[in-house]
Structure 1
Amino acid sequence: MTIPSALQTMQRPSLTLHITKKEPYRRGGTRFGGQPDVPPGFVWPVFTGTDDSGESETRPLSFLAQFDCAGLAPYDSGHLLPGTGLLSFFYETGLQPWGFDPHDAGCARVFWFPDAAVLDKAPFPAGLPEEARFPMRNIQVTPALSFPDWDDFLIQYPDVSDDEAFFAARQVLGTPVPDDGSKLLGWPDLLQNSMAAECELVSQGVNMGGDIMDIPRTVYKKAAQTGLDRWQLLLQLESKEDMNPELSFGDGGRLYFFLPREDLAARRFDRVWTVLQCG
């Protein structure tokens, strides 16, 4: 099989996100930042982690974005997302866990609220610093096709060695990274290595913060192959330090929210895993 043909077999639909001008409040609407719309009885998520001095700290998560699922449905050609309700994303932007440690569980949360009719704007919790409260912005959504980066492609086709032919084929297919690097679904646009094995192994309790050479090669390879098929990118979010310094992930990097496909199908968004990468 040629490289262009192989890429075609791996294509996935995605939704590119362009975060633009200030957005007036609209209950249940797709938007970045502001105050989230939540159902009665919602408990704002918190995360307990370790700061740079080694002290334990519990902080409320920052609200990042929410998506009107009914509004996205006409563009979600793979029918992966719920067809109704609201999907909301939170992350701890102060400590900014990287996602390679099983103890990072809970640093990011995704909520699906099936009944949009009962939602209302939530007040920010008192413990959430002003700098972790982000301005409300409009999100423009455009359907697109997504193809794997080199590292993910090699997991599927390990015998391919011609990276120049790969990148030439990607160019012909017209699959540039979105202008601001943000999208729903599709393949992740990598800033470092593939995250397939990382998601799979961390979910099994393996700390990936050390030397991956310490992991038996057969174990790592199997995890990469399983993870590539199993873990679906849910949201890729580019740094937005022009809006707020707290929105620089690492050093101008990206957040990647992943969910096992079986959990996405069952709407178990509490099983999301989030990884931070920066170049």
Structure 2
Amino acid sequence: MSVDIDRLLELFRRHLPLRAGSVEVAFASEVEPPVWRNEAGYPVVALRLTTFDPDDGVVPLDIKAQEVCIGDDREHPPERWLAFVEGHLRAMPAILGHVEESDTLMPSDLFVYEAVLTDAGLQRADEFAAALRDPVRLAAMQAAAGEAEWRERLEPLGLAEHVAEVRAMARPSIRLHLSRVEGEDEYDDEDDEDIDDTENTDAVDDATCPTGQTRLGGDPDLPPEMPWPEVDGVPLTFVAQFDLAGLARRDAASELPASGLLSFFYAPSPPDGVRGHPVRVLHLTDLDTLVHRPAPAAVERLAAYDIDTADELQYPGVDSHFFYEALLPEARILEGHRQRQQGEGGELVPFNPLACFIAESEQLDAFERPTHRLLGHPSAIQGDPYLDVEIDTRPQGWDGWEDGSHEALQVRRRSLRWRLLLQIDAQEHGGPLLNQDGGFFYFWLPADALAAHDWSQARGSLQCH
């Protein structure tokens, strides 16, 4: 038996608007009537959630409107269900106080506590209100609702039983936004499409720039007695340096040392017979001794850019599908890759639902170029960047590779050990940044080396068009 919708409307009108701290819940003013039944017969209420400036309590900072389904009233006696709704509204200030810290709070997040209806001992509105003011009970119901939502999202991927493992794949990243250092020549592709920005040697006066400052390109800060970084006699190009103390508040920076300068150098072209690009990553701790060091005459100098940072949260991209496939039984993985190798499909984790899952889960656009980042997961142009760097460690490279074989499966598993340190996009605002054919250059480190801050194991790889 259903609840009379007019009684439900009157109940909401008695309690709304209501406010707790800097958050207010009210009817969405543009919807009339604000309570109705949808096509499936469920009661729906149109709500507006407004967050005000906590200092003056008047200026609205954020407004979110949503049509919220508040459950199935047909599963419970009408009077008890109405008592639940009234208790819910009475407890709403406590609920808001419990979740107010979330910047992503939506009106529907305030109605995820229907589990209290399974407690047969709750019958009256005051009993429901007391239960919904209990922070321990609220936390347990929020966790259960979140788990159910994740299972629902992962069901199309065939991974509903692996919620914890998939969520553990998310890695914080630091997105890097570049701006040309004042005094460096700007690239203008309308004036001359053949200009190579990497050949610009009209450097800003680095003597006026503080040492130890985060930046890309230009001249690095190094100890005066340190030889110019090289690998096997090949002098390397300075790419970027990061003031670690300045990044310490970022979530991703918890994996890095808390202080010092982390500097990156690479070889634009690998020497003959060398698989992968030689790189060096230096952690310089005595910042007082650092001086600006111009590159040797034969070494390419990148144009100098200042760096602004932003937080990201990333899941492995669709090209790195083995992260997800690795959660499936080994026999199924081998058979799927065998089918893929023979052109029979072999789609273990459906591509389109995976792409949708990643897009919905990440906080920023994962492929809005230029895409420069520190830590997190790499963007890809073609193929799996993790597998590429692992293949570079094999003496035979791709020779003898047979997708679907036990050996290939073990290589794929080993590829998951790599951690992205730095990704630099070869493009920046329409002009070349690195001489890498419009691709991405990556600095990598094995996970155990990152945990130990052993930068000697860094490797470089490239994906380009």
Give the CA deviation at 1:77: 4.1
Alpha-carbon distance in 2 for matches of 1:231, 1:134: 27
Task: Give the aligned residue type for 1:33.
Answer: G
Map Cα deviations across residues 55-100 of structure 1 (whole Å, 9 max, x no partner).
xxx642111110001111111346111111101111122x2579xx
Partner of 2:455: 269
Alpha-carbon distance in 1 for matches of 2:433, 2:374: 22
Q: Does 1:72 align with 2:265?
A: no
Give the CA deviation at 1:9: 3.2
Secondary structure of 1:212's partner? coil
Map Cα deviations across residues 159-203 of structure 1 (whole Å, 9 max, x no partner).
543211111112222452253111011111111222333433433
Contact 2:166 2:324 in 1 (8 A): no
Alpha-carbon distance in 2 for matches of 1:92, 1:71: 27
Partner of 2:125: none
Partner of 1:238: 425
Alpha-carbon distance in 2 for matches of 1:171, 1:97: 38
Give the CA deviation at 1:17: 0.5
Partner of 2:350: 162
CA shift in 2, pair 1:153/1:209, >3 Å: closer
Partner of 1:52: none
Give the CA deviation at 1:156: 3.4
Secondary structure of 2:369's partner? coil
Partner of 2:298: 127
Task: Give the aligned residue type for 1:236.
Answer: Q
Matches within 5 A, 1:7-86: 7-22=166-181, 25-47=209-231, 59-77=234-252, 79-86=254-261
Q: Does 1:278 align with 2:459?
A: no
Q: Does 1:206 align with 2:417?
A: no
CA shift in 2, pair 1:97/1:149, >3 Å: farther
- The structure with the greater share of residues assigned to strand is 1
CA shift in 2, pair 1:80/1:91, >3 Å: same
Alpha-carbon distance in 2 for matches of 1:209, 1:241: 32
Q: Does 1:145 align with 2:323?
A: no
Partner of 1:248: 435
Contact 1:240 1:248 in 2 (8 A): no
Task: Give the aligned residue type for 2:438.
Answer: G
Secondary structure of 2:427's partner? coil
Map Cα deviations across residues 206-247 of structure 1 (whole Å, 9 max, x no partner).
23254633x88212211211221x211000110037697571
User: 5+ residue gaps in structure 2?
Assistant: 1-150, 183-207, 329-347
Contact 2:432 2:438 in 1 (8 A): no
- Alignment counterpart, residue 385 of structure 2, candidates 176, 189, 195: 195
Alpha-carbon distance in 1 for matches of 2:244, 2:371: 21
Secondary structure of 1:74's partner? coil
CA shift in 2, pair 1:167/1:83, >3 Å: same
Alpha-carbon distance in 1 for matches of 2:460, 2:230: 15
Contact 2:252 2:376 in 1 (8 A): no
Q: Which has the higher contact order (CA 8 A, sep 6+)?
A: 1
- Alignment counterpart, residue 136 of structure 1, candidates 281, 292, 304: 304
Q: Does 1:114 align with 2:301?
A: no
Contact 1:19 1:138 in 2 (8 A): yes
- The structure with the greater share of residues assigned to helix is 2
Alpha-carbon distance in 1 for matches of 2:429, 2:371: 14
Partner of 2:80: none
Secondary structure of 2:319's partner? helix
Q: Does 1:181 align with 2:371?
A: yes
Alpha-carbon distance in 1 for matches of 2:280, 2:375: 17
User: 5+ residue gaps in structure 1?
Assistant: 49-57
Contact 1:40 1:119 in 2 (8 A): yes
CA shift in 2, pair 1:234/1:83, >3 Å: same
CA shift in 2, pair 1:106/1:153, >3 Å: closer
Pick the structure with greater CA Rg. 2
Secondary structure of 1:90's partner? strand
Task: Give the aligned residue type for 2:381.
Answer: L
Contact 1:64 1:91 in 2 (8 A): yes
Map Cα deviations across residues 81-122 of structure 1 (whole Å, 9 max, x no partner).
1111101111122x2579xx7x34672111111222221111
Map Cα deviations across residues 251-275 of structure 1 (whole Å, 9 max, x no partner).
2000011101111122221210111
Contact 1:199 1:227 in 2 (8 A): yes
Task: Give the aligned residue type for 1:166.
Answer: L
Matches within 5 A, 1:91-110: 91-93=266-268, 95=269, 103-104=274-275, 107-110=278-281
**What is the TM-score with the length of structure 1 in the denominator?**
0.82
Task: Give the aligned residue type for 2:462.
Answer: L
Alpha-carbon distance in 2 for matches of 1:243, 1:69: 29
**What is the TM-score with the length of structure 2 in the denominator?**
0.51
